[in-house]
Amino acid sequence: MSVSSQTPTQEKAVQLGIDLEQLPSHVAVIMDGNGRWAKKRGLQRLLGHREGYRTLRGVLLNASELGIKFLTVYAFSAENWRRPEDEVAGLMKLIETAAKDELRAMHRNNVRVQVAGRLDEVPPSLRKALLDGVETTKGNTGITFTLAVNYGGRAEIVDAVKSIIEAGTKASEITEETIASRLYNPLTPEPDLMVRTAGEMRWSNFLIWQSANTELYVTEKPWPEFDETELLNAVLTYQQRTRKFGAVVE
């Protein structure tokens, strides 16, 4: 890639020492700290989630400009139903509104939208908004953006196993590849890099099958403060590591 054809984000990346030919293909993000960010400022937790939505819009654009091919974010976990009822309702509405409002811009920018999770358990209007996004953008060839809603890694594996059983597959024929082929988005490659904000050091049931060999990057910044610089720092850290996949690398 010539310097003249680089995007602004790529130019910044090169200045930091990032090799544009060795980018992680798939970056997954656990967007944590919205509520704490709001509380620290004397705001309601839902306002923190709204700020987090604005952050996500920018990060998606930065990731696309950098050249990352897949971005998956943890928008609402299966465990999040345990939160206060008003917060859950607010989150459902926020995700629905964002899905509708951003669809035209994502389609215009060649973003392909996917979803992951048990959508049959979310409000019908939210499910429709998400599936409309998937249908509208299915032919796009830019970054693939996956929104995990009502998602749990263990639940995904359970659903995969049920699908295998329903297909009549013999136990002796089941392999890791069999299970992987029955996951929510089997054609999406496993994440190379997992980013978690707000300093938490847990996997929180996110992509646990797919992340067996994923590099983890944790930042103390809460999600509303995550920006292009933090994304580039995560990628630079990733490139400074040696991925062994269980082998010995000299």
- Residue-wise pLDDT for 207-242, tens only, equals 999 999 999 999 999 999 999 999 999 999 999 998
- pLDDT tens readout for residues 19-61: 999 999 999 999 999 999 999 999 999 999 999 999 999 999 9
Closest by CA to 186, choosing from 165, 213, 163, 166, is 163
> What sign for the dihedral angle of Cα 212, 215, 221, 227?
negative
Find, among 152, 55, 142, the residue nearest to 94 by Cα.
Answer: 55
- What is the pLDDT confidence band of residue 149, given thresholds at 50, 70 and 90? very high
Question: Residue 132 gets which letter from DSSP?
Answer: H
For residue 118, pLDDT over 60 is answered with yes
- pLDDT averaged over the chain? 94
Rounded distance, CA 75 to CA 195, Å?
14
pLDDT value for 136 = 97
CB atoms within 10 A of CB 250: 2
Please report the pLDDT score of residue 245 as a whole number: 59
Q: Which residue has the tokens 């680089």?
A: 6
Report whether pLDDT(248) > 70.
no
pLDDT at 1 over 80: no
How many CB atoms lie under 10 A from the CB of residue 103? Answer: 18
State the pLDDT confidence band at 114, using cuts at 50, 70 and 90: very high
Residue 125: which pLDDT band, with cuts at 50, 70 and 90?
Answer: very high
**Over 90: is that where the pLDDT of 176 sits?**
yes
pTM (two decimals)? 0.94
Complete domains list, the chain, with CATH: 23-151+187-233 (3.40.1180.10)
Confidence (pLDDT) at 242: 80
**Active site members:** 32, 80
Is the per-residue pLDDT at 2 higher than 90?
A: no
Token couple for 239: 């490139």
The pLDDT value given to residue 4: 63
Least confident segment among 2-6, 93-97, 138-142, 198-202: 2-6
H or E stretch covering 193: strand 193-196
Q: How far apart are CA 19 and CA 14, in angstroms?
A: 7
The average pLDDT across 71-92 equals 93
Count Cβ atoms within 10 A of the Cβ of residue 191 and give its class: 0-12 exposed, 13-18 middle, 19 or more buried. buried
Examine the pLDDT at 246 and tell me if it is beyond 90: no
- pLDDT of 158 reads 98
Task: Say which residue the tokens 């696309």 belong to.
Answer: 64
In single-letter form, the type of residue at position 83 comes to R
* Per-residue pLDDT at 249 exceeds 80: no
Tokens of 173: 């024929």
